[in-house]
Amino acid sequence: MSLKLRLTLMNFLQFFVWGAWLITIGRYWFENRGWSGTSFGAIFSTMGFSAIFMPSLMGIVADRWINAEKLYGMLHILGGVFLCLLPQAANPNQFFWLIFGSMICYMPTISLAIAVAYNALKQQGLDVIRDYPPIRVWGTIGFIAALWTTSLLGLEKSPGQFYVAAGAAFLLGLYAFTLPPAPPRMTAGDNRSLIEVLGLTSFRLFRDRNMAVFFIFAMLLGASLQLTNAYGGTFLGEFEKNPAYAGSLAVKYPAIIMSISQVSETLFILAIPFFLRRFGIKTVMTISMVAWFLRFGLFAYGNPGPGLWMIILSCIVYGMAFDFFNISGSLFVEQQSDPRIRASAQGLFMLMTNGIGAVLGSSISGWMIDRWFTGADGVKDWHGIWVTFALYSLVMAVLFVPLFRYRHDRSAALNVAH
């Protein structure tokens, strides 16, 4: 098996593990177990808390003591154990600690997978910038395949989704030990400070006003991502209670409808170089915020019947909303940061989006939905929920334009895009 194919399989399974439950856990939580929205918000916050500290800690372990591919494999196997235990949770508190354990194992594997892939490609003298993106896109395909698997097997409200994810995690964990070795790079004589090892030197970027504004809005956009992941599938699934929509495709297979978002994501990646060259990061980020406004607004007025086109259009818009903020943002950080701290600067970007942003988005939205948008009978006002999220995104766009005073250098953007 060629190296590229081996790394493709690794990326496919990496995101298959996540996709098997990430979009459908809401249906299991609300429709199967009947637990509260506030507690559900806490469940999604575990991803953010784990992203804050685990990638750095496991990075230190891989840099100093253990081969990255072996650590990667061990984390997936342990994470699979936690996934198997999730259906045994008797209450939200037990579920929280089990999913937290799973996320502590999973979140660092995202960066470890990149480290293993980069190391293997460089060992064979391949061009990482040219050869890695076509490999990474199979991660998104794996996510889509997992969504379809969970949906077509009828597991969207079932604990079976966690067993599917666990099976993939065990398979990937064992497979990882066959990947090209990625040994520790630090030596006993490496005298870097703990601050440097943890990548905390990147916080100096906050001294620049534009970078500070950029990172704050990246955090706010990270919150938007958690809203759509947490509640999109649940929103569609609850239409089955309405006889007018009970037999529709979107109600029977909401995860498949939601997977259009990931398909769109793979396509909009191709548009990023053009938009960055032509318009610059400020316009691209503003477009992302407007796209989030449309994503939520279309959900607010869509339905599985005559309004299905709105749901589908919302999923298509998601690709622009996600890619134009996530990938374009990482390119901007690459362009603006000192080469000596570029790795830690990317870590800071991930901390603000998948860490702090995810915690705030999941926790506050869960409390808000319980407080203002859930009736005494447990029925949720989805129209009000999505309109609120849409207005939140619109306010971000309106504030971002005057606060982010960055002048677009078209020649510099051209170089970064390539």
Question: Tens digits of per-residue pLDDT, 300-332?
Answer: 998 888 888 999 999 999 988 888 887 777 767
Instruction: Write down the pLDDT at residue 301.
Output: 93
Is-contact 228 365, C-beta < 8 A? no
Give the model confidence (pLDDT) of 79-98 as tens digits.
Answer: 999 999 999 998 999 999 99
Confidence bin at 379 (pLDDT 50/70/90): confident
Q: Using 50, 70 and 90 to split pLDDT, how confident is the model at 166?
A: very high
- Is 414's pLDDT higher than 50? no
Instruction: Tally the C-alpha atoms within 13 A of residue 210's C-alpha that lie toward its C-beta.
Output: 12
Higher pLDDT, 198 or 244: 244
* pLDDT for the residue numbered 410: 58
State the residue for tokens 């480290």. Answer: 115
Give the range with max mean pLDDT: 109-113, 116-120, 166-170.
Answer: 166-170
Angle at 328 (CA atoms; ends 147, 315), nearest 5 degrees:
35
Q: What is the structure's pLDDT at 226?
A: 67
Q: pLDDT band at 202, cuts 50/70/90?
A: low
Domains in the chain, please, with CATH?
Answer: 1-183 (1.20.1250.20), 199-418 (1.20.1250.20)
pTM of the model: 0.72
**In this predicted structure, what is the pLDDT of residue 353?**
81
Mean pLDDT of 360-366: 79
> Quick one: pLDDT at residue 129?
61
Residues 6+ apart with CB under 8 A from 26: 40, 230, 231, 232, 233, 234, 237
Q: Please indicate whether residue 107 or residue 82 has the higher confidence score (pLDDT).
A: 82
Mean pLDDT value across the chain: 82
For range 116-123, the mean pLDDT: 84
